[in-house]
């Protein structure tokens, strides 16, 4: 079906298109289903929402994410992405191959998955877990999408804590020490998710934290280190989307956690990473045995990616 693109300024997270209800009925698509869009030589996938009045028959309402679409658009029903079959496979507790994980990561990156499917992905990796092989493949695939930073020096240091007591703020002290010792440490931090302020929010009281990759290279070149907001750089866009699906469910499966941390470090060009693993009652990791096992897994995935990972197992009990 041929429709004319009309820009509708809505900033949804998914590539939403608005179809008039009679056009949708003729195409045979329902809300939340996918359509293939073809304009000129280009194609994209849109997720359908319906309207009676906002766009008229013959018009395709394109939201902000699809704002590059202009003119006549050929709209057809899009097939289900392959990664949905792989998510189903994981729900059936069957180990995924490297190319299947890579396809899931690619489809999340291209925003081909609906939220229901993303919810099933994080649920499947939570209930059935990810093997060491799967975790390695997933980490590699996640590091492969989005931006990366290349450095001219042999050692790039970084640190990460998997989450202990909120607000203890080790990073603003540690980064200048490491930089003063002559190492390069391009540290990205997150804003608050559930606590009152994340490291990036805290640093923003003192200085700007939103910089591009070029600016980060420049700052680290001059000073040896930086403390910036990771959300301003597109280092691991897939991780951000997976976290968005994990957050409302308060789940953070081990394999996904390792892939999340190490894919970001790999994209940032880190070669030597210290990971803080707080353990204790109320912490993400409750026992010392569990902390040691997680540390070993971090080391193995790091080795596989060519990064030296050291884990510090610390007291994270909430008292």
Interface residue with a second copy, options 1, 91, 232, 243 (CB under 8 A): 91
Contact residues for 96 (Cβ-Cβ < 8 A; gap 6+): 86, 89, 90, 104, 134, 137
CB atoms within 10 A of CB 312: 13
For a second copy, which residue of 36, 128, 148, 234 counts as binding (CB under 8 A)?
A: 128
**Backbone angle region of 97, left / alpha / beta, with phi > 0 → left and psi within -120 to 50 → alpha:** beta
Among 249, 288, 289, 317, binds a second copy (CB under 8 A): 249
Question: Contact between 117 and a second copy (CB under 8 A)?
Answer: yes
| CB-based burial label for 211 (10 Å; 0-12, 13-18, 19+) | middle
Helix, strand or coil for residue 99? helix
For the bound state, the minimum distance from the C-beta of residue 31 to a second copy, rounded and expressed in Å, comes to 5
CB under 8 A: which stretch of 2-10, 69-77, 168-176, 261-269 binds a second copy? 2-10
**Residue 129 near a second copy by CB under 8 A:** no
The answer to whether residue 166 forms part of the interface with a second copy (CB under 8 A) is no
Q: What is the largest CA-CA distance in the chain?
A: 67
Specify the 3-state DSSP secondary structure of 186: strand
Q: Which one of 29, 60, 78, 124 is in contact with a second copy (CB under 8 A)?
A: 124
**Catalytic annotation, pick one of 82, 110, 252, 276:** 252
User: What are the CA-CA distances from residue 250 to residues 120, 163, 187, 247, 284 (Å)?
Assistant: 14, 13, 25, 5, 11
Q: Is residue 42 within the footprint of a second copy (CB under 8 A)?
A: no
Phi, psi of 204 (to 5 degrees): -65, -20
Q: Is 250 in the site for a second copy (CB under 8 A)?
A: yes
Q: How far is the CB of 261 from a second copy (least distance, A)?
A: 22
- State the minimum distance, in angstroms, from the CB of residue 184 to a second copy: 32
Task: Please tell me whether residue 308 binds a second copy under the rule CB under 8 A.
Answer: no
Is 52 noted as a catalytic residue in this protein?
Answer: no
Tokens describing residue 75: 């709209």
Give the pair of three-digit tokens for residue 280: 């204790």
Q: Does residue number 49 form part of the binding site for a second copy (CB under 8 A)?
A: yes
Residues of this chain that bind a second copy (CB under 8 A): 8-13, 18, 21, 31-32, 49-54, 64, 80, 84, 87-88, 91, 93, 114-120, 122-124, 126-128, 244-245, 248-251
Catalytic residue ranges: 252
């Amino acid at each position: 079906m041929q429709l004319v693109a009309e820009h509708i300024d809505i900033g949804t997270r998914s590539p939403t298109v608005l179809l008039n209800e009679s056009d949708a009925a003729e195409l045979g698509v329902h809300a939340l289903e996918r359509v293939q869009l073809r304009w000129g030589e280009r194609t994209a996938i849109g997720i359908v929402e319906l309207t009676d009045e906002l766009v008229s028959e013959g018009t395709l309402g394109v939201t902000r994410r699809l704002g590059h679409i202009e003119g006549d658009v050929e709209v057809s029903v899009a097939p289900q992405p392959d990664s949905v079959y792989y998510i189903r496979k994981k729900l059936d507790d069957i180990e995924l191959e490297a190319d299947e994980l890579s396809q899931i990561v690619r489809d999340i990156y291209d925003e081909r998955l609906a939220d229901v499917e993303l919810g099933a992905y994080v649920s499947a990796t939570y209930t059935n877990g990810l093997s060491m092989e799967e975790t390695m493949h997933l980490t590699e695939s996640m590091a492969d999408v989005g931006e990366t930073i290349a450095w001219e020096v042999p050692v790039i240091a970084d640190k990460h804590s998997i989450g202990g007591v909120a607000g203890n703020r080790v990073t603003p002290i540690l980064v200048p020490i490491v930089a003063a010792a002559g190492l390069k440490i391009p540290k990205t931090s997150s804003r608050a998710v559930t606590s009152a302020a994340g490291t990036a929010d805290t640093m923003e009281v003192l200085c700007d934290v939103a910089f591009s990759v070029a600016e980060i290279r420049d700052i680290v070149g001059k000073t040896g280190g930086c403390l910036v907001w990771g959300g301003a750089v597109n280092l691991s866009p897939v991780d951000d989307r997976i976290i968005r699906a994990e957050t409302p469910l308060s789940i953070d499966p081990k394999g996904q956690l390792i892939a999340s941390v190490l894919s970001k470090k790999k994209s940032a060009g880190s070669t030597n990473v210290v990971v803080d693993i707080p353990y204790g009652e109320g912490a993400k990791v409750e026992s010392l045995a569990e902390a040691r096992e997680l540390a070993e897994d971090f080391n193995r995935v790091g080795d596989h990616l060519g990064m030296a990972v050291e884990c510090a197992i610390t007291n994270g009990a909430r008292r």
